[in-house]
Amino acid sequence: MDDSSRYITPQEMRKAEARARSYGLDEAALMENAGRAVAGIIEERYAGAGGRKLLVVCGLGNNGGDGLVAARHMGGRWRVRVLLLGRASEIRTREASESWGRLGPPVEKIEVQDRPALLSHSDSFAWAEVILDSILGTGVKGGEVREPVATAIGLINASEAAKVAIDIPSGLDPLGGEAGSATVRADVTVTLHRPKTGLRGKDEYTGELIAVPIGIRE
C-alpha cells in the first residue's frame, strides 16, 4: 500500500468512529466487524497450514477486544488459545469485556497477570502456527512498554509462527512510527478502515499491510 493520501492519524480515526455512532454503528459493532475481518484474513492466508493452531495475545483495551472477536470466529475452525495479558476483571471497556465473556469452548482462555505467569505459558508460542497480536492499539503511544507486554512481544518475535497484527504492531507509535525496543515484527498487519500514519514506511514491523473495511463511511 503506497497511496499516502489514505493514511490517517489516530485522532482522525477516533473522529471517524464517533461519526459512525451517528448512523448506528456503535463500538460493539465496530469491534465485531474488525474481529470478523481479521479472522477472514487469517483463514484466507493460513488455512492450509498444518494443524491450524492460533494463539491470540490480547491486551486489556479495544485492540484486545478485536482479537477476542477474531478468536471467537476462528474457534469453530481452528484450535484457538487466548492469552490475556492481565485479569479479565481489568479489561478496560464494556465491549471488550463482553467479547471475553462470549468466548467459550472450544477456545482456551488463559489470564496471565505478570511476567512469571506469562513465562509459565511460553510453550504456547512454540505451539502456535499463527500468532495474532492484539495487545496495543492506536490509543497507546509507542515507546517503551511495561511488563508483561514487553516479554510477550519478545516471545512473539522469537516464535517461528506466522505473525499477524491487528491495526498496528504492538510497540509501534501509531502517529509517528517510532519503535521501542520491544515492537512486534509482523508478517501481516490488518489495519482497520484506513492505515495509520505511523505505519508508513515501517515494513520491517508491519510486513504486508492490508486495510479492511469495518463499516465506517468516508
Per-residue pLDDT of 174-207, as tens digits, reads 999 999 889 999 999 999 999 999 999 999 999 9
Tens digits of per-residue pLDDT, 4-47?
458 999 999 999 999 999 998 999 999 999 999 999 999 999 98
pLDDT band, very low/low/confident/very high, at 208 (cuts 50, 70, 90): very high
Pick from 63, 50, 24: nearest CA to 192: 63
Query: Maximum Cα–Cα distance for the chain, whole Å?
Result: 46
Q: What are phi and psi of 186, to 5 degrees?
A: -85, 155
Tens digits of per-residue pLDDT, 45-82?
998 766 699 999 999 999 999 999 999 999 988 999 99
Residue spans of the domains in the chain: they are 24-212
pLDDT at 76: 85
Cell 516471545 belongs to 155
State the sign of the Cα–Cα–Cα–Cα dihedral 206, 211, 216, 218.
positive
Question: Domain 24-212 sits in which CATH superfamily?
Answer: YjeF N-terminal domain (3.40.50.10260)
